[in-house]
Amino acid sequence: MAYQLLTALVMLSPLIKSQPGGGGMGGGGDDTGTTTTSTKCNVAGTSSTYSEYISGDVRIIQASGCANHETICIGKPVCPANDTEAVVYDKNITIPAVPCFNNYNDTSEYEWEGFPVYCLLNSLGIALNGVSFFSPSANTECKDAMGEESNSFDTCGGHAGPTGLYHYHAGPACLIDQLNDSMTVNPNGHSPQIGWAYDGFPVYGAHGLNGEYIEKCSQNTSNSSDCLDNCGGHMQHTIDGFKYHYHIAGPNGDLESSPMYPVPTTSAYPYTFGCFKGIPADWDLIATNNVPDLSCTESGVVDGYEPIAVDGVTELYVGPWQLQTPAPTTTQEEGSSAPTESPVEIQTTDEKSSVGTYGLLFVSLLSVVIITFH
């Protein structure tokens, strides 16, 4: 009997080391909620596409909706480990190529200076890397996204919604850095263009003409000749042929913190868009329940303006936090006063599973052998 048990132990020994871990309970899947048939964006940022062309009086933008930077999910009750929730959306967007000012007259207590979009929960614009700009709201109660959701903004400033649509509620820190506008004060002055609003007007970064963060006109510290209305833009100077343009509120993210830090304070609300000064070419894009009856009161461009297609920014962005290497594991050699590098054997998940499954069997059989011989 003892001989047979010893033989069994010898035969079992190699299995304990080589048997792969099985599925069983707790086996992971590719569950992405309501988007299980969609293709995931590459977590490192290699799925980004963006192109645009002019067709008559409209600008056609096509994009994957994936960012060109890392998009690891953070700050949510359930996140895929070191992975993204973002999925490919294959956007095909039509916006005015020659925008105009609308005739909306707001009679609410908020006195919006354009058609209100602050509580719409969908894309209101698109960044040049193909990612959506959202409103400042986190839910149908119009709660502030900075207070409700900023703990899930990744280092680049975005996150994915329930259906996997990756988007920004605040400045896209990595895209802004890629366009050399990430500093507190830009020595070159005004920020570069970073995207489009769906009403056809361009969107710029957080710096005004003097290279400092541009503020709301309602703020006591603002420059009255270069400040933002409650839509999130202004018409105090023309730029690139447009009489009006939007700015994404500062401060810019520090490109180190996860979740992103700093984020705009309420003094900079609405951060992205509070209202539209223009008229979208396709109201379905912003998913409003009631399409307003708006008309143009004035052209939004200077005389002689000719629309041109703007290049996208899809080159892969590698952030400074990705270039940091972990410190090597060290061990103290006998007779040595300084630590030296030593390779560390890493036990894989499969190996851990094998030991867990067969280790108990090994111990049980060994106990029987000891009892038998005893």
Residues linked to residue 34 through DSSP beta bridges, in sequence order: none
pTM as predicted: 0.78
Whether the CB-CB separation of 47 and 142 falls below 8 Å is answered with: no
pLDDT at position 321 is: 92
pLDDT at position 324 is: 74
pLDDT at position 287 is: 74
Whether the CB-CB separation of 145 and 134 falls below 8 Å is answered with: yes
How far apart are alpha carbons 90 and 281 in whole angstroms?
A: 19
Please give the DSSP secondary-structure letter assigned to residue 42. P
Which has the closest alpha carbon to 159: 256, 259, 248, 88?
A: 259
What is the 3-state composition of the chain as percent helix, strand, coil, each rounded to the nearest 5?
A: 20, 20, 65
pLDDT at position 11 is: 37
| End-to-end Cα spacing for the chain | 13
What values do phi and psi take at 60, rounded to 5?
-100, 125
The encoded tokens of residue 144 equal 């502030």
Relative orientation angle of helices 349-373 and 2-18, to the nearest 10 degrees = 170
Residues linked to residue 126 through DSSP beta bridges, in sequence order: 132, 196
How far apart are alpha carbons 369 and 374 in whole angstroms?
A: 8
Type of residue numbered 149: E
What values do phi and psi take at 128, rounded to 5?
-70, -5
Please give the DSSP secondary-structure letter assigned to residue 332. E
pLDDT at position 290 is: 84
> What does the pLDDT profile of the chain (374 residues) look like in tens digits?
443 433 433 333 333 333 222 222 222 222 222 333 479 999 999 999 999 999 999 999 999 999 999 999 999 999 999 999 999 999 999 999 999 999 999 999 999 999 999 999 999 999 999 999 999 999 999 999 999 999 999 999 999 999 999 999 999 999 999 999 999 999 999 999 999 999 999 999 999 999 999 999 999 999 999 999 999 999 999 999 999 999 999 999 999 999 999 999 999 999 999 999 999 999 999 877 789 999 999 999 999 999 999 999 999 999 999 987 655 554 444 443 333 333 333 333 333 333 333 343 333 433 433 334 44
pLDDT at position 326 is: 59
Whether the CB-CB separation of 155 and 260 falls below 8 Å is answered with: yes
For 9, the 3-state DSSP assignment is helix
How far apart are alpha carbons 188 and 181 in whole angstroms?
A: 9
Buried b / exposed e over 97-124, threshold 16 CB at 10 Å, is bbbbbbebeeeeeeebbbbbbbbbbbbb
For 313, the 3-state DSSP assignment is coil
pLDDT at position 17 is: 32
pLDDT at position 38 is: 79
Buried b / exposed e over 126-157, threshold 16 CB at 10 Å, is bbbbbbbbbbbbbeeeeebbbeebbebbbbbb
Query: pLDDT tens for residues 110-150?
Result: 999 999 999 999 999 999 999 999 999 999 999 999 999 99
The encoded tokens of residue 194 equal 């970073």
Contacts of 117 (CB under 8 A, 6+ apart): 124, 135, 273, 274, 275, 276, 286, 288
